[in-house]
Chain A
Amino acid sequence: MNQERLFKVLLGPHMTEKAAVLADAKNQYVFKVAADATKPEIKKAVEQLFDVKVDAVRVLNTNGKTRRTLHGLGRRNGFRKAYVSLVEGQAIDFADAE
């Protein structure tokens, strides 16, 4: 896997209440990732970009919501989300990443 691909995998941190709680309680960080990203790719990208050790990665696809507009039904874009657990003692500060 080349270096360029790594920068395309992570789309950004997913900042929600749930993510904030998980970061505190389980040392898990949530990212939006490219639709075709795999777990090993994500692991490697996070490890390299944030200089941390990743324990595990879980991924899931969210579907976009359907919206009804003047011009009939429409669908918002969905995205692929990754929950990344870090090895104990590691942390990510998004202050410089956002």
Chain B
Amino acid sequence: MQVSVETTSALERRLTIQVPAEKVDTAVDERLKQTARRVKVDGFRPGKVPMNVVKRRFGDSVRQEVLSELMRNHFIEAVTQEKLNPAGTPEIEPVKMNAGEPFEFTATFEVYPVVELKSLEGESVERPVAEIKDADVEELITDLRKQRATFVETDKAAETGDQVKIDFEGFIDGEAFAGGKGEGYDLTLGSNSFIPGFEDQLVGSKAGDSKDVEVSFPEDYQAADLAGKAAVFKCKVHAVKQQQLPELNDAFFAQFGVAEGGESAFRAEVRKNMEAQLKQATRNATKQAVFEALMKANPIEVPRALISGEIDNLRRQAAQQYNLGQDFDIGQIPADLFKDQAKNNVTLGLLVGEVIKANELKADDALVDELLNEMAGSYQEPQKVVDYYKSNPEMLRQVQGAALEQQVVDKLLSQAQVTDVTKTFRELAMPGQ
């Protein structure tokens, strides 16, 4: 077997591989002999078909088959021989494939980049730190109460935050238009569920009031024929309801699964959940920061084949997330949507893999146990969850992966210069709120 390597671009290699004619012929004959035992030809008992008949009937297709197999095998052999590390599937093309001549083919593929890992020595990484203060707990409890809030009718004037029950009918230039009518609608003022300006004008109205609300539809309103037009909504207010927060009593606590112990137990439970949430959030944020620093310190070129593979993965995930079903053709999702993310993922995967290799990291059993317990803590019967994970190798591997990632982060953190940034619980645990 003759192999020659060409470097066509930074990561692309082309192998030209030659296989001697005799080798091909013996392989073909071998295969024909096997076929002869299996095939059924009219006029012959099974397995009694003479070689020359088999050759005439199946020679060409068998040869094709053998050649494609030879290409695969020799490609692998050549790759090991040349110590290349191909990424993605190679593009294999036969060049010369006439009988009696040496068989020649080329394989074009991309190789994994050689990563010379630069440590994060001297790089600065921001690590967010947050503490749970009593005020944070208080705030969260208020949030919970708001979620369970009930609305009680009052005869006061409506304020922002109150709910009004209204009938409304909209007119443009004195004429009613389609979809502009509603009866008995519960509108929460300040919820911005109606077009801008509508809710504001209802502030101050009382039960039994009638009011003309004058608004204009925004220019980018989804119904094109209404966009930008001025309209008058004749509204009748049936009732004004005030938001009433539930009291902090045992019934309220019971809704959150705290049946005993009253307020102190409830607070403790809330705090415990917040702590778990915070720990998770801190860990994620730190991981993100470390990985970003790692990518910045090690700009590498990644094979296109890997990126397109990752794009497909992301597409599939997206399809699953939006419940598009089995038959959905993931090719319909534009690839550009995921391009940057895919590139990041691949780069990160390569770099993290390199860190693991360089430091000979292995999933630490103690850490795995810790993660498991943490995860199980939020279930009713933690021990059962732990046992289930341990009895299921695939699930366990996931946890091990997480542990390994954690170790990589720790390792990198120990190299980098870490600056602690103090943040509040809200900023860290609930970004975007």
Contact = CB atoms under 8 A, between A and B. Distances in A.
A-B complex is real: yes
Interface of A: 14-17, 19-20, 24, 94-95
A15 B48 contact: no
A65 B148 CA distance: 89
Given A15-B42, A17-B43, 5 more contacts: A14-B43, A17-B48, A19-B43, A20-B44, A94-B56
B45 interface: yes
9 contacts: A15-B53, A16-B44, A17-B44, A17-B45, A17-B48, A20-B44, A20-B53, A94-B56, A95-B56
Give the 7 A-B CB pairs with smallest separation, nearest first. Answer: A16-B43, A20-B50, A15-B43, A17-B44, A95-B56, A17-B48, A20-B53
Interface string B37-66: 000011111001010110010000000000
Contacts of B42: 15
Interface string B13-51: 000000000000000000000000000011111001010
A24 to B, nearest CB: 8
Contacts of A16: 43-44
Contacts of A19: 43
Contacts of A24: 50
Contacts of A14: 43
A15 B44 CA distance: 8
Nearest to A95: B56
A22 B50 CA distance: 12
B38 to A, nearest CB: 17
B167 to A, nearest CB: 79
A16 B44 CA distance: 6
Contacts of B52: 20
A94 B50 CA distance: 14
Nearest to B42: A15
A15 B56 CA distance: 12
Nearest to A18: B43
Contacts of B45: 17
Contacts of A20: 44, 50, 52-53
Contacts of A17: 43-45, 48, 50
A64 B300 CA distance: 78
A17 B41 CA distance: 10
A85 B98 CA distance: 35
Interface in B76-101: none
Interface in B157-191: none
B17 to A, nearest CB: 31
Nearest to B51: A20
A38 B354 CA distance: 84
A11 to B, nearest CB: 15
Contacts of B56: 94-95
A95 B57 CA distance: 9
A20 to B, nearest CB: 5
A36 B53 CA distance: 29
Interface centre among A15, A19, A95 (most CB of B within 10 A): A15
B217 to A, nearest CB: 78
A57 B45 CA distance: 27
A16 B53 CA distance: 10
Contacts of B43: 14-17, 19
A65 to B, nearest CB: 15
A74 B52 CA distance: 37
A17 B46 CA distance: 11
A64 B50 CA distance: 27
